[in-house]
Amino acid sequence: MNQTSGARVAVVGARGIGRHHARWWSVEGAHVCAIVGTTKETAEEARAGLAETIDFDGAVYTSVEELLEKEAIEIVDVCSPYKQHAEQVRLALMAGCSVMCEKPFIYHPEKSWEEQMEVARELVDLTKAEHRRLAVCLQYTRAAEHVLKYWLEAKGWTPIERLSMELRTDTYGQQPDPEQIWLDLAPHPLSFMHRLMPDGLVDWDTLEVEFEGSEARARFVLREPAGQTIDIDITVATTAEPETKKRRIVLNDVPIQFKGAQDERGDYCIHMIAPDEEFFLTDFLRDFIRAFLWNEATTRFGEILLNQEWTLRMLEAGRSNLKRVAGA
């Protein structure tokens, strides 16, 4: 039985991934008291969808400004389109709210990655100045903690020399766009890698990024301060064929898969499959939301900024490679 925090949560963008956020907030004991949509029509559509899953009877708005003016909100969960993240996070922090934001944290395609990093740093500084909490939804950090525990128990202190991670998710009817796929999915393996090896830094001279069709791939060397190097291979993709969907990690030669399952209460959970052991885990997003709700550490400021930088710089490298290929 969950405790009930009663925290008042508003979800900005509650039709897509925000619908799942709203459900987990509710299941974990928060009060989802309001949602924000881009238009009145989309907001009402989101309201109807939530009413079927969490008995939502809260207020509906079409702007974050109006929400913050009329509601007493403790947590704002930003699940809106990428370009709106920065301003909505800023408004929520200025209003005294803590903020959870979907990844990527900041994205303005008209700005360079350096300019976007300035915006990200400003928001982190604002969070500190306002004495609020800020998390970006890098829930695969929770997966990294489970994998690291398994590795230490199964392999001891055997060094990790190679890490590959492959995420293939549903297209949801969208046309193939490797840049969009990278922005949407790459923060997950990058955050997994960083949580597993928190002192490692990307050797940018080794970076190779390929964008093609419905797939984006990055290969590079991660260097540890003590001199150890780890070969990294990340593939993120979408697929219209359910049987090819995949969440797979390989540490050295040890494969680990994550599959969706249901727990004894019928809630979605994660089935982690290793060569000699299997585990049923709380859904990573649910676990992440639960931790934030109860003031536990989720993503550190440095982790947020490094994930943002890696995502954007690798995106830029992928774009440059696409241009070279097109011009060849």
- Can you give the pLDDT at residue 181? 95
- Give me the mean pLDDT over the 18-35 stretch: 95
Burial (0-12, 13-18, 19+ Cβ within 10 Å), 206: middle
Strand partners, 274: 277
Per residue in 283-307, pLDDT tens? 999 999 999 999 887 889 999 999 9
Q: Nearest Cα to 11, choosing from 29, 33, 44?
A: 33
Residue 328, pLDDT > 90, answer no
Per residue in 182-233, pLDDT tens? 999 999 999 999 999 999 999 999 999 999 999 999 999 999 998 999 999 9
Indicate the range of 42-56, 114-128, 147-161 predicted with least confidence.
42-56
- Give me the mean pLDDT over the 33-52 stretch: 91
Note whether 85 and 101 are within 8 A (CB). yes
Tell me, rounded to whole angstroms, the distance of Cα 35 from its chain centroid: 20
Residue 82, pLDDT > 50, answer yes
Higher pLDDT, 245 or 259: 259
Residue reference for tokens 């840049």 = 179
Alpha-carbon span 290 to 309, nearest angstrom: 26
- Can you give the pLDDT at residue 325? 67
- Can you give the pLDDT at residue 299? 87
Residue 323, pLDDT > 80, answer no
- Can you give the pLDDT at residue 72? 95
Q: CATH top-level class for 140-327?
A: alpha beta
What's the CATH number of domain 8-102, 3.40.30.10, 3.40.190.10, 3.60.40.10, 3.40.50.720? 3.40.50.720
Backbone angles phi, psi at 174, to 5 degrees: -85, 150
Q: What is the dihedral of CA 16, 95, 288, 40, to 10 degrees?
A: -10
- Give me the mean pLDDT over the 31-45 stretch: 93
Residue 4, pLDDT > 60, answer no
Note whether 105 and 312 are within 8 A (CB). no
Delimiting residues of CATH 3.30.360.10 domain(s) in the chain: 140-327
- Give me the mean pLDDT over the 64-88 stretch: 96
Evaluated on CA atoms 302, 304, 308, 310, the torsion sign reads positive
Burial (0-12, 13-18, 19+ Cβ within 10 Å), 109: exposed
Delimiting residues of CATH 3.40.50.720 domain(s) in the chain: 8-102
Residue 55, pLDDT > 50, answer yes
- Averaged confidence pLDDT in the chain: 93
Q: Which residues contact 91 (CB under 8 A, 6 or more apart)?
A: 64, 65, 68
* Strand pairing category for 8-12 and 31-36: parallel
